Amino acid sequence: MTRTVPVSARAQRRRSLVAIYWTEFRNEVLKNVRMPVFLVSSLAFPLMFYALFGLIFGRESVAGVTTATYMLATFGTFGVMGAALFGFGVGVATERGQGWMVLKRASPMPPLAYFAAKTLLAVMMGGLITLLLFVLGGLIGGVSLPLGTLASMFGILVSGAIPFCAMGLAFGYMAGPNSAPILVNLIYLPMGFFGGLWMPLPILPAFIQGLAPWLPSYHFGQLALSPLGAQSIASPWPSVAYLAAFTAIFLALATVLYRRDRGRPVG
């Protein structure tokens, strides 16, 4: 009941903001880590695909590197995209469906805390997937790269989660809890294949090579290939610009949908 004196009010508010963001993030991590579906779908698919394709085509060469090395970047891209799209798309849609979102919005929660927690988790999952792929590549793919190359590939892959967080967020507001996984898969899997993330683009038919530059997955993948010198883009900047614009568009869309979602036409 006691109200704080004005002098310390600002300091207190700053402390409490840290507490809010920390608790939100901690809960987001605990909530997901305790769901086997989340871990398996986020981690297992990119790792499994990489292990399969990497074993089969590992020693062959593409774009100047071994296929196993090339696919480290492309399946890293694929894994990061998946963690972001599923974490946001399915997560938000589910929590909206439960009414849990409305309760949080009725509470004095700063809305950004919820989205920041989800973004940070997606970025961390992206990092984890990338590290596990590196280990797998070293163990079974015979991949050997300088530490600097690995570090910059890691940095690019982890930051690449952001555009797909934005896309996933918009999907989370477009779809219901049951349709969200279907919607995400319908976008995610073709985006992976046609963006050259499953099979290296140079070995794919010409029409797919023509289609790929329209896709965000292609630009993300090309940026991730850059530290290897295996990219087919001349300069990274058009791809960076594409992904920045892509992020802005989906954030704007998500904002509109978030506002529209505000009230429920109930009772």
Q: From the CB of 178, what's the least distance to another protein, in Å?
A: 13
Measured from the CB atom, the residue of 148 and 263 that comes closer to another protein is 263
237 binds another protein (CB under 8 A): no
16 binds another protein (CB under 8 A): yes
Strands (E), the chain: 61-62, 65-66
189 binds another protein (CB under 8 A): no
Measured from the CB atom, the residue of 96 and 219 that comes closer to another protein is 96
Q: Token match 């974490």: residue?
A: 87
257 binds another protein (CB under 8 A): no
Is 185 strand, coil or helix?
A: helix
Alpha helices in 175-235 (DSSP H): 180-194, 206-211, 216-225
Q: Among residues 75, 257, 38, 98, which one has the least CA distance to residue 167?
A: 257
12 binds another protein (CB under 8 A): yes
Torsion over CA: 36, 167, 244, 254 (sign): negative
User: Segment 27-46, which members bind another protein (CB under 8 A)?
Assistant: 27, 30-32, 34-35
- Write out the two tokens for 75: 């399946």
Measured from the CB atom, the residue of 113 and 161 that comes closer to another protein is 113
User: Segment 101-120, which members bind another protein (CB under 8 A)?
Assistant: 102-103, 105-110
For residue 58, give the DSSP letter. Answer: T
Q: From the CB of 13, what's the least distance to another protein, in Å?
A: 8
Q: Token match 């029409």: residue?
A: 207
Measured from the CB atom, the residue of 24 and 121 that comes closer to another protein is 24
String of DSSP letters for 102-123:
HHHHHTT--HHHHHHHHHHHHH
Which residue type occupies 148?
G
265 binds another protein (CB under 8 A): yes
Q: Which residues bind another protein (CB under 8 A)?
A: 1-2, 4, 12, 16, 19-20, 22-24, 26-27, 30-32, 34-35, 95, 97-100, 102-103, 105-110, 262-267
